[in-house]
A and B are shown apart, each in its own frame.
Chain A
Amino acid sequence: MADWTEEITKVAGTSLAIIKGGTGKPLLVLHEELGHPGWMSWHAALAKEHSLIIPIQPGLGKSPKVDWILNIHDLAMFYSWVLRDLNLAPLDVIGFSVGGWTAAEMATINAKQFNKMVLVAPAGIKPPNGEIADVFSITAHTSLNLSVYNREVPEFAKLYGGERTPEQFEAFEDARTENARLTWEPIMSSHTLAHFLEGVRGLPTQIVWGREDAVVPVSAAECYRQALKNTDVNVAIYNECGHRPEIEKSADFIKLVREFLA
């Protein structure tokens, strides 16, 4: 039996593809800007204690594009509507890169829809040192290569199915097109998010980052910590790690997240 299933759900005025797997407390997983990377070992590990709910962002995969979603704040409003309609809130959330930014926006809209929040190298705040990589001015593959510190880590070759088929090329371009549409300007960040995050209260948050992150520089971690000053925040930064601690420091990452969400 497969570890996960994909269902199309009529919700929030559209059809949304949702990948589900695991048992236990529900955990909303918001994928990154290249899309859902496939069922990785960290999914399997967390699925032992959590029911993973992974909505596929509108415009990607089997989720049709929703034209009126114009930016990440809109996407966060949309997902909040999904949670209400499916009676999923409150639940835990983990978001990666643009997915992390989306989770943070959702927290600013209504912090009470989450119990705990994990943000993994979230975009959304312009870092004080370094620049967010312009992933839309490089190819998907270059972007993928840029996302890790060490391409020899075992799961790197398994991301997105591993093989570079025409179908995967299309899937990447769909994901990049939709996220370029939503995050083109300011470059993968928001002028308002940091201010709104100050209004988040009572939402324990774990921030995870790689010190060598070449997509969203680690200096943004401190910005998130400061912005979330009215709630409990832990920041974990891994050395010799890029934008994907979940595969580059997999064991440490899984342990950290399991303990935080326990």
Chain B
Amino acid sequence: MHIMHFTERPYKYVPEDEVIKNRSFFGVSNTFYDPKLGADLYNEYLDEACYAEEVGFDAIMLNEHHGNPFCMGAVMNVEAAILARITKRARIVLLGNPLPVLKHPLRMAEELAEIDLISHGRLVPGWVRGAGSEQIFNNANPAYNREYFNEAHDFIIACWTRQGPFRWEGKHFNYRFVNPWALPYQKPRPPIWIPGVLSPETVVWCAEHRYPYIGLGTALPATVELWNLYGDTAAQQGYTAGSENFGYLQQIFVAETEEKAQELGKGALFGGGAQNFSRPEHTLPPGYNSKEATRRLARQQTDYGFLGVTSAKLQESEQASVQDLHKEKGNTRERLKRGEVSIAEAKAKIYGNYQKAQDGLQIIVGTPKSVLPKIRLIMETLRPGIFGLFTIQGPVSVQDRLTNVRLMGQEVLPAMREYAKELGIKDPFEVEPGSRPYTAGTKRDSLVDLEALKRAPKRDDSVRV
């Protein structure tokens, strides 16, 4: 069981009312950014990562977002490079570098290689297409998102594994002399993990490349469905997928008492939570989704649950535009836009969903004792070899955050490791993903526990965290 500490490193001093007025974190003016507070926060989060290593986490997971107080990791590789030096044992897991928006994959190959070298081989790079808003922020043509991703991926692998110098003449990237003198410490290359919110195209792509796939807080039934798709694809590729091929990220917060945990855990909903990451028009710029995904979005109401990528949210926005014309009542977001509800009413609506979000396991909050059965249920259902514990957002004090980390180390992590042993869950460092052959015509290994899924609470799709 490989257990990761994760925080979005929020700029937690952003005025919540401004986020609500803006109807998303992305796009709040940076006039609200105080560099002195920002300086303290970066250092606090680095210290927290060191503490997580000290209490027993296997990895520090980082992510990257741009122009957004929801996450201060605008240049994640800078933080990763520092962690490479100031941590000693923990893996540094990057989930992930948004390849399509970076425009210079040779530079990326060099940066990651340096991090792997400084850490003496503790880097786990992971790559993403980037949220829709990252395309807007970085002026990356969303219509080429997948092409950029695929070509940058292939190029970086080539940088790390092909003898230089060589020439690269691609559709989007051209280099006349590729010969980086910083090559990864790990051979033939660092392990690569890919996070996602259950795009079937990405799940299949991961299975084809034998990369572990990390579900980012995704609804359990949909996750089960897509992991089976991974398993089927793996079988077609001639290998057996297992727990070593999967990871899961869960929003969670623990405190000494239930009361305190409940109070602090509301931070998950600060500013509307992850579902208020960006507005629909920024979440799904044209071409960001494949044609097939657009078709699904136009017709389905599937909750894929993280960072606002839901058809319901999109349609809500579309319908609201029409409603706006006819001056009809829309949802809270649109009514706020029209000044029909107050900030206080919008907040009441947001925080009114707190219990439902916990009931549906979108967030898990409590004492170590009260959260463990919920974690176990997820582990039984999904059997992930990698488990990320995503610290709550919002204005939680440093001390309370560190208490959360300490309690995790003292009580939660040991119990999770015991569960993993009992359930036979292996992580990618115990079993090499893709290393177990599959015999054609035989029944492939079961990847999930459908009986456990039946015991899992149903997620209320109207509650978005």
Query: What residues of B have a CB within 8 angstroms of the CB of A158 in the complex?
Result: none
Which of A16-24, A133-141, A191-199 contacts its partner? A133-141
Verify B287–A180 contact, CB threshold 8 A: yes
Known contacts A169-B318, A174-B291; is-contact A181 B281 (Cβ 8 Å) = no
| Nearest CB on B from A247, distance (A) | 16
Query: What residues of A have a CB within 8 angstroms of the CB of B281 in the complex?
Result: 137-139, 142
Those of A142-178 within 8 Å (CB) of chain B: 142, 145, 151, 164, 166-167, 169-170, 173-174, 176-178
Closest to B321 in A: A141
| Nearest CB on A from B33, distance (A) | 22
Bound: A166/B285 CA distance, A: 17
Q: Is B298 an interface residue (CB 8 A)?
A: yes
Q: Is B142 an interface residue (CB 8 A)?
A: yes
Verify B287–A139 contact, CB threshold 8 A: no
Bound: A166/B144 CA distance, A: 23
Q: Is A185 an interface residue (CB 8 A)?
A: yes
Q: Mark B279-292, 1 if CB is under 8 A from A, else 0.
A: 01110011101010
Q: Mark B132-153, 1 if CB is under 8 A from A, else 0.
A: 0000100101111000000000
Those of B305-342 within 8 Å (CB) of chain A: 317-318, 321-322, 324-325
Query: What residues of A have a CB within 8 angstroms of the CB of B141 in the complex?
Result: 180-181, 184-185
Q: Of A137, A141, A164, A167, which is within 8 A of B285 by CB?
A: A137
Known contacts A166-B299, A180-B285; is-contact A139 B280 (Cβ 8 Å) = yes
Query: What residues of B have a CB within 8 angstroms of the CB of A178 in the complex?
Result: 143, 287
Closest to A187 in B: B139
Q: Is B455 an interface residue (CB 8 A)?
A: no
Verify A177–B318 contact, CB threshold 8 A: no
| Nearest CB on A from B56, distance (A) | 44
Verify B287–A177 contact, CB threshold 8 A: yes
Q: Is B294 an interface residue (CB 8 A)?
A: yes
Q: Of A170, A184, A185, which is within 8 A of B294 by CB?
A: A170
Query: What residues of A have a CB within 8 angstroms of the CB of B139 in the complex?
Result: 184-185
Q: Is B36 an interface residue (CB 8 A)?
A: no
Bound: A169/B322 CA distance, A: 13
Verify A141–B295 contact, CB threshold 8 A: no
Verify B294–A173 contact, CB threshold 8 A: yes
Bound: A164/B319 CA distance, A: 9
Query: What residues of A have a CB within 8 angstroms of the CB of B286 in the complex?
Result: 136, 173, 176-177, 179-180
Between A and B, 5 residue pairs with Cβ closer than 8 Å are A141-B321, A145-B324, A180-B142, A180-B287, A185-B141
Query: What residues of B have a CB within 8 angstroms of the CB of A179 in the complex?
Result: 286
Bound: A140/B294 CA distance, A: 13
Closest to A138 in B: B281
Verify B325–A151 contact, CB threshold 8 A: yes
Verify A145–B325 contact, CB threshold 8 A: yes
Bound: A194/B66 CA distance, A: 34
Query: What residues of B have a CB within 8 angstroms of the CB of A181 in the complex?
Result: 141, 143-144, 287
Verify A177–B143 contact, CB threshold 8 A: yes
Bound: A170/B311 CA distance, A: 13
Those of B261-298 within 8 Å (CB) of chain A: 280-282, 285-287, 289, 291, 294-295, 298
Known: A174-B294, A180-B142. 19 other contacts (CB 8 A): A136-B285, A137-B281, A139-B280, A139-B318, A141-B321, A142-B321, A145-B324, A145-B325, A151-B325, A170-B294, A176-B287, A177-B287, A178-B143, A180-B141, A180-B287, A181-B141, A184-B141, A184-B142, A185-B139
| Nearest CB on A from B457, distance (A) | 31
Verify A184–B325 contact, CB threshold 8 A: no
Query: What residues of A have a CB within 8 angstroms of the CB of B325 in the complex?
Result: 145, 151
Contact count A vs B, C-beta below 8 Å: 66
Bound: A141/B324 CA distance, A: 11
| Nearest CB on B from A229, distance (A) | 33
Bound: A179/B324 CA distance, A: 26
Query: What residues of B have a CB within 8 angstroms of the CB of A141 in the complex?
Result: 318, 321-322
Query: What residues of B have a CB within 8 angstroms of the CB of A166 in the complex?
Result: 298-299
Known contacts A173-B294, A178-B143, A185-B141; is-contact A139 B299 (Cβ 8 Å) = no
Bound: A178/B141 CA distance, A: 11
Q: Which 6 A-B pairs have the closest CB atoms?
A: A176-B286, A181-B143, A177-B287, A141-B321, A166-B298, A184-B141
| Nearest CB on B from A190, distance (A) | 16
| Nearest CB on A from B464, distance (A) | 18
Bound: A173/B280 CA distance, A: 13
Verify B298–A169 contact, CB threshold 8 A: yes
Query: What residues of A have a CB within 8 angstroms of the CB of B280 in the complex?
Result: 139
Closest to B285 in A: A136
Those of B143-201 within 8 Å (CB) of chain A: 143-144
Closest to B315 in A: A169
Those of B39-74 within 8 Å (CB) of chain A: none
| Nearest CB on A from B313, distance (A) | 11
Quick one: which of A170, A180, A185 has the most chain B CB within 10 A?
Answer: A180
Q: Mark B357-376, 1 if CB is under 8 A from A, else 0.
A: 00000000000000000000
Bound: A164/B320 CA distance, A: 12
| Nearest CB on B from A3, distance (A) | 28
Closest to A135 in B: B286
Verify A137–B321 contact, CB threshold 8 A: no
Bound: A214/B289 CA distance, A: 27
| Nearest CB on B from A61, distance (A) | 13
| Nearest CB on B from A147, distance (A) | 13
Closest to A165 in B: B298
Those of A61-90 within 8 Å (CB) of chain B: none
Closest to A170 in B: B298
Verify A164–B318 contact, CB threshold 8 A: yes
| Nearest CB on B from A138, distance (A) | 5
| Nearest CB on B from A65, distance (A) | 9
Bound: A141/B280 CA distance, A: 12
| Nearest CB on A from B289, distance (A) | 8
Bound: A12/B139 CA distance, A: 32
Query: What residues of A have a CB within 8 angstroms of the CB of B298 in the complex?
Result: 166-167, 169-170, 173
Verify A136–B142 contact, CB threshold 8 A: yes
| Nearest CB on A from B323, distance (A) | 10
Verify B321–A139 contact, CB threshold 8 A: yes
| Nearest CB on B from A39, distance (A) | 23
Those of B416-437 within 8 Å (CB) of chain A: none
Query: What residues of A have a CB within 8 angstroms of the CB of B317 in the complex?
Result: 139
Bound: A177/B299 CA distance, A: 18
Bound: A8/B227 CA distance, A: 42
Query: What residues of B have a CB within 8 angstroms of the CB of A180 in the complex?
Result: 141-143, 285-287
